[in-house]
Structure 1
Amino acid sequence: MTQIAKVHAREILDSRGNPTLEAEVTLADGSFGRAMVPSGASTGTKEAVELRDGDKTRYLGKGVRQAVENVNTAIAKALEGFDAADQAGLDRRLIDLDGTENKGRLGANALLGVSLANAHAVAASRRLPLWQSLIEVDAAIRGAAAPASGTPARPSVAGRSQAQPLPIGQRPSAPALPVPMMNIINGGAHADNNVDLQEFMILPVGMDSFSEALRAGTEVFHALKSVLKGHGLSTAVGDEGGFAPDLRSNEEALETILEAIGKAGYKAGEDILLGLDVASSEFFDNGKYNLTGEGKRLTPDQFVDFLGNWCAQYPIITIEDGMAEDDWSGWKQLTEALGNKVQLVGDDLFVTNPKIFREGIERGVGNAILIKVNQIGTLTETLEAIAMADANRYAAVVSHRSGETEDTTIADIAVATSATQIKTGSLSRSDRVAKYNQLLRIEEQLALMNPGAAAKYAGRSAFVSLNK
């Protein structure tokens, strides 16, 4: 019996010591699910609203008691007796109950916590790993479970008819483990240093398995620590577990990482590729991109050239938020200049919102979307955004937030949807490593399900559409 018997929430702490919401869903058969909601530091203006109390005398105004109260009263009452197996229906009920475009009345953090906890409870009831249970949820959203002939089509969360789904291609026959995008040098809003760009990442694509890719990334991380010490630089870490040295320029971060890759015994451009999260909305002002650490103030044209020169000089395969979220013309220029060579990921631009993402697709900007569950606020809408990416040949990168918890749901989402990449921080801080450890468990489960065959790892195939 998958009817909901109880919904409960509480206030807990995230990895930055800020309050966040934890939700629990209990079913009539005793099955139980729990989820914790992440929080971002660098946020897009169009993200769903994270409800905070604003009481400066308590947690500096960042408490979430109102969101918790909303779960324990209005949401709990609305979901009592609801069939938890109907994830899309549950998420629709949550959205309708909130009644706002940005989920600002009850709070996206309240809705998301319950939505994810529900998925965990259903998986427990079915005695399946979460990723395996989510495969069926994902298939239904992709239109595989359209209503029978003569049955009225039920609107999906994004307003599409399930009887007329987006033209989505076949999912891979077996789930694949994603390429980890490991943020090993932090800057921007994630660190207190002179580096303007927010993240410098490594992507171990040349390995045959996720576990070997994780080992390679870990060895480079430790080699980088040694390199930084050798240069007399700090090895303190930022919000996402990467190092936050006070480097002389953004380019020095790339050079230092290349040195660490070599020191660890790997080849940059073959075994390991590089990635950037520019987070350019953070330094876009009055039509210019202000690289304060380098004393540069660049027009959109100049900034496109700046990034293009880096891509020609370094083995960069992915750039996130290369242009500001409101600089649509700049995004178009960047896509035309680099879109067939480099993955261009929209984070602040698309905010995991199917409606906004559709506009980006129609405008022809970017070629990938970053998927953050708390940007949109329900599991169904998250899966719809991934499905839309697949339908339009955009890559989907499942991502954490800078304020995280020990929750590992995003690892299961990445595998269930066969997303080719996951972005979940560096190789330190247990809130980041927890996701990598969950992927190791899933890799083992997949291998046990197919004796004699290793679990598939996306590796270089994640970027087959690019000419680099």
Structure 2
Amino acid sequence: MSHRGFPSRVPEEQRDLDHIRSAAAEFYRATGVPQVIERALNELFFREPEDVHGYLANYFTNLCAPPRISRLKGREVYDARGQLSIEAEVFCIVCNQEKSMSSAAVSGHVGPKEASPDWKEKGRERAEHVMTAAQWINGPLNNMLQGHTPCDQSDVDHLLSDFFTARFLEDKDLRNKEKEESGPPSEPEVLPSSPVSAPTKNKKSVDKGKKSNTAEKSFPPAEPPEPVFPGSSAIGSVSLAVAKTAAKIQGTPLYKYIAALKNRTAPAQFHIPVPLVTLLSCGKTCPGKLSLLEEVILIPKAGQRVKQIITTTLELQKEMMRIMNASTKVGATQAMLCDSGALAVAYERPEQPLDLITEACTNSGLALGTEIHLALNCAAPELMDCSKGKYEVATGVLKSPDELVDMYQTLISKYPAVVALIDPFRREDIDQWEKLSNGIGDSCSLLSDLTFKSKAPPLPGVRGHILKHIHETTVSDLICITSDHQGSVLMGTTCSEPCSEDSWADIAVGLGLDYVKLGGLSGAERMAKYNRMISIEEELDQQGILASEEKHPPPLF
């Protein structure tokens, strides 16, 4: 049996082709579109693939309608601390069948860093947020995105953001209406301090070094705490799940898909953000009196591979643990791991954790200030006692904003390896930001949290920003914010709330960030992110598109 002069085949292949032609003839009669089959058979005979049926399957798969979102599914899951979180799953119709394409979850902490001492109330509030997010995903968001292509990220994120804005404004109008109906308050409303400060245990040291009342009179009032709208984490989770779905449909890694969204085409080369690793935690949730240093972060020397950085950091961490456990002076400071994935220490003064790191570096043969540097996440906004106009840097030890400036300058002078301070003041203390910046010059960079304040006026002296992918932040939001602050944006999740998503590594690489902050080196959820970063680096290197640090030097430290 011949067919328009096609090459002859062995008998087995001939029988297969006869079967195909018979099926094609039946298709001709049923559909009246023989040209599609004819084109496929022509290409088949010219290419002569080993897998005839596989070739035809792929050929006709490409003729199918593009995948469309069929439904969303929101489910309650638990994070590494056993707290409820929301996960969004995207289903699409692919080749006339519904398939689960991807799922995603973003951090959704409630309020300012667990400030409430009533953990039961905090748990109920969190459960309400997660339940609302699940209802949004399974209800209105599911109905809204059905039939939409997942490959149009801008359109999907626009719909998600509009939905959130409408819900937020509805809630705001309802609250205003309730206030009007209840009548004017008998006394002026006083905004609560953000966050609630822990009660001081030692009253003797509160007023030491007290200055004139002029500074207290000009103390700027606290901004209202940033609202965390119930259900908001549904927006960020769905946006990321849709992005992962689109990358899967296009057969490309997520980081390349995000890079193409940001740059309108995939760049010729990629660079790996420098990972900033949390070494120590001394915050309010850790043992000891010291609250000022929520995190002490290791900044590795640029140009190293991620695996090398992790190996060096783990060796340093082991030496720190050995010193802490062997010390007789700090019997209560036995080595332990906290929620940030780093070592928790019980100290009273900010010099003590820095002395520990200095000793460990010396014992390990690491040149502190050359091979590695340090960043201090001060988290000062969490320490403000607005009733006194001072920061409670340790239990019973309060510092005015100007006194805190002097304290930072002393630390940086004594420990030149400290090259970055994160959130050293509240945003309201603009004079102190400027004073500290002028005092330290280029020896140390000031960084601030950009997550909720992307449209706020810039702070004096700030050279970089922390950006977290939480709540209603969409992938398009991340692209927009990082485009406006190109080259100086850090990436990280909340310090105390790990998330199982290893996509953070892809997001950081795809956005072209210079640094990524993923927490300490413990816990499966955090190490999954570091392992993903290693995989991306190896993949880029094998493809010959890994940019060298000489061509892309990090801008800050």
For Structure 1 versus Structure 2, the TM-score category normalised by the shorter chain is: 0.7 to 0.9
Aligned AA for 1:111? I
Aligned pair 1:400/2:466, yes or no? no
In structure 1, the residue matched to 2:77 is 12
Shift of 1:97: 1.2
Structure 1 residues 136-175: aligned runs within 5 Å: 136-140=260-264, 174-175=269-270
Q: Corresponding residue for 1:164?
A: none
Query: CA-to-partner distance for each residue in 1:398-429, whole Å, 9 max, x for gaps?
Result: 00122112211211111112211111111111
Question: Secondary structure at the residue paired with 1:268?
Answer: coil
- Paired position in structure 2 for 1:326: 428
Q: Which amino acid aligns with 2:281?
A: N
Q: Which residue of 1 aligns with 2:470?
A: 374
Note the C-alpha offset of 1:139.
1.6
Residue in 1 that maps onto 2:141: 75
Listed one character per residue, the Cα deviations across residues 201-252 of structure 1 (whole Å, up to 9, x for unaligned) are 1111155322212221121112211121121431111111111121232210
- 1:23 maps onto 2:88 in alignment: yes
Residues 1:355 and 2:355 are matched in the alignment: no
Specify which of 246, 266, 282 is matched with residue 366 of structure 2: 266
Partner SS state of residue 24, structure 1? strand
Contact 2:412 2:418 in 1 (8 A): yes
The partner residue of 1:422 within 516, 538, 544 is 516
Q: How does 1:160-239 map to 2 (within 5 A)?
A: 174-196=269-291, 197-205=293-301, 207-231=303-327, 232=331, 233-239=333-339
1:62 is aligned to 2:126: yes
Distance in structure 2 (CA, Å) of the matches to 1:214 and 1:261: 15
Equivalent residue of 1:373, what SS? coil
- Give the match's secondary structure for 1:188: coil
Deviation at 1:456, TM superposition (A): 3.8
1:308 and 2:404 correspond = no
Aligned partner of 2:245 among 98, 108, 121: 121
Deviations 1:129-187 (A, max 9, x none): 111111111224xxx8xxxxxxxxxxxxxxxxxxxxxxxxxx98522112221112112
**2:281–2:342 contact (8 Å) kept in structure 1:** yes
**1:460 & 1:227 partners in 2: Cα distance?**
37
Partner of 1:159: none
Shift of residue 193, structure 1, vs aligned partner: 3.0
CA distance in 2, matches of 1:258, 1:337: 24
What CA distance in whole angstroms lies between the structure 1 residues aligned with 2:229 and 2:546? 47
Deviation at 1:311, TM superposition (A): 1.5
> Aligned partners of 2:392, 2:552: CA distance in 1, in Å?
34
SS of match in other structure, 1:253: helix
Aligned to 2:537: 443
Paired residue type of 1:92: H
AA in 2 matched with 1:219: E
Assess if the C-alpha contact under 8 Å between 1:205 and 1:271 holds in 2.
yes
1:284 maps to what in 2?
384
CA distance in 2, matches of 1:204, 1:460: 16
Aligned with 2:528: secondary structure?
A: helix
Q: Tell me if structure 1 keeps the 8 A contact 2:89–2:100.
A: no
Instruction: Using the TM superposition, give the Cα deviation of residue 436 of structure 1 relative to its aligned residue in structure 2, in angstroms.
Output: 0.7
Query: 2: distance between equivalents of 1:265 and 1:41?
Result: 42
Find the aligned partners of 2:119 and 2:412 in 1 and give their Cα distance: 46
State the Cα distance separating 1:265 from its structure 2 match.
Answer: 2.4
The residue type paired with residue 128 of structure 1 is T
Cα distance in 2 for residues equivalent to 1:381 and 1:281: 24
Structure 2: which 5+ residue stretches go unaligned? 1-65, 170-225
**Residue 278 of structure 2 contacts residue 296 of structure 2 at CA under 8 Å; is this kept in 1?**
yes
Q: Please report how far the alpha carbon of residue 462 of structure 1 lies from its aligned counterpart in structure 2 after TM superposition.
A: 1.9
Contact 2:281 2:344 in 1 (8 A): yes
Q: Give the drift of 1:457.
A: 5.5
| 1:457-468 superposed matches below 5 A | 461-463=553-555
- Cα deviation, residue 62, structure 1: 2.2
Query: Structure 1 residues 136 and 417 mapped into 2: Cα distance closer, same or farther (>3 Å)?
Result: same
Whole-angstrom distance in 1 between the partners of 2:365 and 2:239: 44
RMSD: 2.8
Change (3 A) 1:204 1:56: closer
State the one-letter code of the partner of 2:358: L
Aligned to 1:241: 341
SS in 2 for 1:256: helix
The 2-side partners of 1:103 and 1:24 are apart by 26
Maintained 8 Å contact 2:451/2:468: yes
